A and B are shown apart, each in its own frame.
Chain A
Amino acid sequence: MDLVAIEELSVRYGRRLVLDRVSLSVPEGSVYVLLGRNGAGKSSLVRCLLGEQRPGSGRVRLLDGDVWSGRAALLREVGVVPEEPDAPPSMNARQLARFCSGLYPSWDGAGFAARLERFGVPPGLPFGQLSKGQKGQVTLSLALAGSPRLLILDDPTLGLDPVARRAVFDELIVDLADRGTTVFLTSHDLAGVEGIADRVGILRGGRLLVDEEMDTLKQRFRRLRLPTGDGEGLEALEPVSVTTRGWGSEVVVAGWDESFARDDVEVAAMTLEEIFLSLVGQEGAR
């Protein structure tokens, strides 16, 4: 079953089209990573997904229910880590846990305490006095303690230092291993998500450029280095970008085919980050 099913979702702010007929789905047990630069529409999509925002058109279903009308009931089985770690500044982790424990049917208080301890977050310190990393860790711990079927994380590592980032992903992976939680994740941290993503979506200017299995995505992208003037047969490989250098040209292709291999062409595989940059980075520096 798809825990997230988005069909033809469009969102408009005034005349600006923020999401343009986006469709994607996240089957149970999988990890979906949605990538995109700031303003690509990620947060709007997440807000629609959480039932905080009404889609301009299209359908958004969460755990097989209509999220706009059934938000509160559906969210009982959804853990959410918002973009900005938000909780009332005066509440400490213990109080937050007490508040949340009544809201989720299967609250795992022991797990929450254990996680905080692993993170090294003092449970009695008010949320407002925690470091940014600690805030994120508390938010994640809260989200996981509800024993969710689905985790929705909106850029959970934004602004975190590498150690904190690592700790967040560690915790996520452990939960994936233990409970097989389905994850919908938006991120800037391409290195961090490279390993855990089953499926990748790339948003640019409100359109979903890519929505496919991580493996096939990486299979079809290659960076080629060709001598000048030797572009024969390149069209079939769906070139994404061509950079002319002194020695020839560098071409990123999205439809790599092994049969194209030639002596004078240097073929390099690409990381998710490189693929993302080649697709999204061409709009120029932000």
Chain B
Amino acid sequence: MKSFAAVLRRELAERWLLVLAAALLSLIPLAVPFLPLGISQAPDARAGTAIALAVIVSYVLALVLGSTVLARDLSERRLGFYFSRPLPGWAIWAGKMAAAALLAFGSGVLVLLPAMLLGDRPDPSGSWGWGFGREAGSGLGLALWAMTVLALLLAANAFSTMVRSRSAWLLLDLLAGTVLLGLVGVATGNLLSARALGALAMAQIGLLLAVVFSFAAASAVQVTRARTDPRRGHRLLSLTLWALLGLTALAFGGYGQWVLAVSPEDLVEIGEVIPAPAGDWIAVGGSTGASRGRLEPTFLMDTSSGRSVRIGSQSSVWGGLAFSRDGRHAVWTQMAGRGVLPVTIHRLELGRPGAEPVATPVGFSEDLPHSLVLSPDGRRLACISGQRIIAQELTNGRLLLAAPVLPGETWEQNRLRFLDSRTLRFYATRLQGRAVSEIRVLDFDLDTGRTSREIRMPGRQAIWGISADGQRVLLVSLKGMGPTEIAIADLRSGEPLAGIPAEGAVNGTSFLPDGRVMLVRRSSPARGGRGRIELRLLDDRGAELKRFDLPGHRVRLGGQPAPGLLAVMTTGDPSEKTWRSDLLDLESGALHPIGEGLFPEGWPSLAPGSIGTQLFLQKKGGLVRIDPSGRQRVILHPES
């Protein structure tokens, strides 16, 4: 320590003029408000000038001192002054480096000091604010600044040593530097294109730290092991530096790969689950933990085999994923470049074991597609992109349809459905102002590209449900606070089949797969009470078949894990923290409890027994499948 202090003191003493110069420079910001400069009248002109000057001074000094303090002494063989004296190598290295760092950073701070003492602070919204951002005044900003000074200093020292030694190792340095930069670039690119921004930020801070450490360690090894020999010094510096940086780059690349190689098991939180209409596949998305870069990956997963395929990393994928009706095909959007756009449609044959995702010729570069639907044969894709309904052949990208969505909407709710592989149906709810409203249903013949049918249903109403065959819709009148009217309309005739008096507010309604209609009402709470939940089962013409009272005051309906048994989750807890889950026998109205807080991932219109109807999210986050016998199997078990 004594030796270190001796070297440090000496190195500082030799350059004390720098401190004087910094002190003089610190007066410049004070003069700025009196100078005829454009910026000089800004409220934070003084602070801004001080910061800019301080940063420039410290960086320039870091570069200059870094390239001279050790490297020049070594190449001019002046290190012997220290090495011929009883000073340990580490003390010589540390003393010199510490002196250079102190001088570079200290001069910067000194330049800053008078302005700061006068109470100047950078104003992020002021004239200078754009240049510094929020960190400017904070401890983090200070730490980053110091870190950068250190990094510049060490890097300048290393490069200067390499160049000054004039040995053939310089070629290796260039090569290694290029390779490593390339490696880091590729790894960064991978993380960027996977939108792993959290991981990237973490990895980059780690990278900076590791790079600073590598440079410092290499330089220390050079001084303590090669001492005054410049060639051996360069060799040791290069070997240590590139070994450490190589490890760093590998670690960085490895971290990137590891982050990107997530599987559904790595999710610490399951965000959303989309079941295929048939078969065992689901799409599941969620987020990974902080240690895994806070990714938001999405997977296609075969719940029976556990096989999974990562298909994207953004929640935007939810607008852009579709299964075919038979559950044998899936398509989704995937970013093709660094940005959100363009996207390419990828597909996976779910029915073929071992199939890999393939990019289709279909892509979108101007507007993200949404409302994706896949034809029953899995060969045609329809979606809405921008203000157009687009249908394309997935195999060759041939455009089948590009029709404008209805013009002039101020609010819309559009849906697409393939009636068969040739016919695409477009359901649109149009609202215009307070007065005009209409529902329009258009059929497109994809072989001819023409509109084959158009149905208009005027009146202020919206589509709340579409039957499994796409031919009937549930219409809900929108009359403000008044009693809700629900109607079932047949699209073949275009006429309402039946009106259903709802006697109060309707909380939800849905077709069941067999054509019956489910209606949920929450009766108005009596004074002090919390109301009741009433479930009505109607036939396909709206006639009431059954009426069930459910416990509690809130309900969430699932699908039918087994035909005739509907998953319901209810709570009577005022704070709504505890929920109970049951299977409701649609014949008898009996409730068969299946557990606490099991959140049904399906919905009533799903085909009974399909994968979606049997999936439940546990309260603690696990995804389980409950088969008709009541047996629970854990699909995913996130550990948060």
Binding site for B on A (CB under 8 A): 13, 47, 50-54, 71-76, 78, 80, 82, 84, 86-88, 90-91, 95, 99-100, 102-104
A103 and B6 within 8 A (CB): yes
- From the candidates A75, A82, A84, A88, name the one contacting B10 in the complex (CB within 8 A): A88
Interface residues of B in 104-160 (CB under 8 A from A): none
* Contact A82/B84 with A52-B228, A53-B232 known, Cβ cut-off 8 Å: yes
Q: How far is the CB of A151 from chain B (nearest CB, A)?
A: 12
Residues of A within 8 A of B6 (CB): 99, 102-103
With both beta carbons as reference points, the residue of chain A lying nearest to B224 in the complex is identified as A71
B229 and A80 within 8 A (CB): no
- From the candidates B3, B80, B229, B231, name the one contacting A72 in the complex (CB within 8 A): B3
A86 and B232 within 8 A (CB): no
- From the candidates B3, B225, B226, B229, name the one contacting A103 in the complex (CB within 8 A): B3
Question: Does B2 lie at the interface of the complex (its beta carbon under 8 Å from any beta carbon of A)?
Answer: yes
A87 and B81 within 8 A (CB): yes
Residues of A within 8 A of B2 (CB): 102
* Contact A73/B10 with A52-B229, A103-B3 known, Cβ cut-off 8 Å: no
- From the candidates A71, A78, A86, A88, name the one contacting B77 in the complex (CB within 8 A): A86
CA distance A103 to B5 in the complex (A): 11
Question: Does B346 lie at the interface of the complex (its beta carbon under 8 Å from any beta carbon of A)?
Answer: no
Question: Does B14 lie at the interface of the complex (its beta carbon under 8 Å from any beta carbon of A)?
Answer: yes
| A/B interface sample: 27 pairs, CB < 8 A | A51-B83, A51-B227, A52-B80, A53-B227, A53-B229, A53-B232, A71-B83, A71-B86, A71-B89, A72-B86, A72-B88, A74-B86, A75-B85, A75-B87, A80-B84, A82-B84, A84-B77, A87-B81, A88-B10, A90-B14, A91-B14, A99-B6, A100-B85, A102-B2, A102-B6, A103-B85, A103-B87
Interchain Cβ contacts within 8 Å, total number? 68
B227 and A52 within 8 A (CB): yes
A47 and B81 within 8 A (CB): no
Question: Does B78 lie at the interface of the complex (its beta carbon under 8 Å from any beta carbon of A)?
Answer: yes
Residues of B within 8 A of A103 (CB): 3, 6, 85-87
CA distance A53 to B13 in the complex (A): 28
Residues of B within 8 A of A90 (CB): 14
- From the candidates A73, A75, A104, name the one contacting B84 in the complex (CB within 8 A): A75
Residues of B within 8 A of A99 (CB): 6, 10
Residues of B within 8 A of A52 (CB): 80, 83-84, 227-229
CA distance A74 to B232 in the complex (A): 23
Residues of A within 8 A of B89 (CB): 71-72
Q: How far is the CB of B15 from chain A (nearest CB, A)?
A: 9
List 4 tightest A-B contacts by C-beta distance, closest first.
A80-B84, A75-B86, A72-B88, A76-B86
With both beta carbons as reference points, the residue of chain A lying nearest to B92 in the complex is identified as A72
Residues of A within 8 A of B231 (CB): 13
Residues of B within 8 A of A78 (CB): 86
What 0/1 pattern do residues 70 to 98 of B give for CB contact below 8 A with A?
00000001101101111111010000000
With both beta carbons as reference points, the residue of chain B lying nearest to A77 in the complex is identified as B86
Q: How far is the CB of B136 from chain A (nearest CB, A)?
A: 37
What 0/1 pattern do residues 49 to 79 of B give for CB contact below 8 A with A?
0000000000000000000000000000110
With both beta carbons as reference points, the residue of chain A lying nearest to B78 in the complex is identified as A86
CA distance A73 to B3 in the complex (A): 11
CA distance A75 to B80 in the complex (A): 13
Residues of B within 8 A of A95 (CB): 13
Binding site for A on B (CB under 8 A): 2-3, 6, 10, 13-14, 77-78, 80-81, 83-89, 91, 225-229, 231-232
- From the candidates A71, A80, A102, name the one contacting B88 in the complex (CB within 8 A): A71
CA distance A93 to B80 in the complex (A): 17
CA distance A52 to B88 in the complex (A): 11
Q: How far is the CB of B574 from chain A (nearest CB, A)?
A: 75
With both beta carbons as reference points, the residue of chain B lying nearest to A105 in the complex is identified as B86
Residues of A within 8 A of B83 (CB): 50-52, 71
Residues of B within 8 A of A104 (CB): 86
With both beta carbons as reference points, the residue of chain B lying nearest to A75 in the complex is identified as B86
Of listed B89, B225, B227, residue having the most chain A CB within 10 A: B227
CA distance A50 to B228 in the complex (A): 10
* Contact A80/B85 with A51-B227, A52-B228, A53-B232 known, Cβ cut-off 8 Å: yes
B85 and A53 within 8 A (CB): no
CA distance A74 to B85 in the complex (A): 9
CA distance A106 to B84 in the complex (A): 17
CA distance A25 to B225 in the complex (A): 25
A47 and B229 within 8 A (CB): yes
Residues of B within 8 A of A50 (CB): 83-84
CA distance A71 to B10 in the complex (A): 21
CA distance A156 to B175 in the complex (A): 43
Residues of B within 8 A of A75 (CB): 84-87
Q: 16 more A-B contacts (CB under 8 A) besides A53-B229, A82-B81, A99-B6? A: A13-B231, A51-B227, A52-B84, A52-B228, A53-B232, A73-B86, A75-B84, A75-B85, A82-B84, A84-B77, A87-B81, A91-B10, A91-B14, A100-B85, A103-B87, A104-B86
Residues of A within 8 A of B226 (CB): 54
Residues of B within 8 A of A47 (CB): 228-229
With both beta carbons as reference points, the residue of chain B lying nearest to A152 in the complex is identified as B84
Residues of B within 8 A of A100 (CB): 85
Q: How far is the CB of B92 from chain A (nearest CB, A)?
A: 9
- From the candidates B14, B81, B91, B229, name the one contacting A86 in the complex (CB within 8 A): B81
Q: How far is the CB of A149 from chain B (nearest CB, A)?
A: 13
CA distance A84 to B14 in the complex (A): 20
Of listed B84, B88, B232, residue having the most chain A CB within 10 A: B84
With both beta carbons as reference points, the residue of chain A lying nearest to B2 in the complex is identified as A102
Of listed B77, B86, B232, residue having the most chain A CB within 10 A: B86
Q: How far is the CB of B222 from chain A (nearest CB, A)?
A: 13
With both beta carbons as reference points, the residue of chain A lying nearest to B228 in the complex is identified as A52
Q: How far is the CB of A4 from chain B (nearest CB, A)?
A: 15
Q: How far is the CB of B628 from chain A (nearest CB, A)?
A: 77
CA distance A75 to B81 in the complex (A): 13
Of listed B77, B85, B91, B228, residue having the most chain A CB within 10 A: B85
Residues of B within 8 A of A72 (CB): 3, 86-89, 91
Residues of A within 8 A of B227 (CB): 51-53
CA distance A78 to B84 in the complex (A): 9
CA distance A39 to B576 in the complex (A): 90
CA distance A130 to B136 in the complex (A): 48
CA distance A206 to B76 in the complex (A): 24
Q: How far is the CB of B625 from chain A (nearest CB, A)?
A: 66
Q: How far is the CB of B239 from chain A (nearest CB, A)?
A: 14
Q: How far is the CB of B65 from chain A (nearest CB, A)?
A: 15
Residues of A within 8 A of B232 (CB): 53-54
With both beta carbons as reference points, the residue of chain A lying nearest to B81 in the complex is identified as A86
Residues of B within 8 A of A91 (CB): 10, 14
- From the candidates A71, A76, A82, A102, name the one contacting B80 in the complex (CB within 8 A): A82
Residues of A within 8 A of B80 (CB): 52, 82, 84, 86
Residues of A within 8 A of B14 (CB): 88, 90-91
CA distance A101 to B194 in the complex (A): 62
Residues of A within 8 A of B88 (CB): 71-72
CA distance A50 to B84 in the complex (A): 7
A53 and B228 within 8 A (CB): yes
- From the candidates B81, B85, B86, name the one contacting A88 in the complex (CB within 8 A): B81
With both beta carbons as reference points, the residue of chain A lying nearest to B229 in the complex is identified as A53
Of listed B10, B13, B80, B226, residue having the most chain A CB within 10 A: B80
CA distance A115 to B225 in the complex (A): 35
With both beta carbons as reference points, the residue of chain B lying nearest to A84 in the complex is identified as B77
Q: How far is the CB of A277 from chain B (nearest CB, A)?
A: 29
With both beta carbons as reference points, the residue of chain B lying nearest to A78 in the complex is identified as B86
Q: How far is the CB of A47 from chain B (nearest CB, A)?
A: 7
Residues of B within 8 A of A80 (CB): 84-85
With both beta carbons as reference points, the residue of chain B lying nearest to A14 in the complex is identified as B231
Q: How far is the CB of B36 from chain A (nearest CB, A)?
A: 40
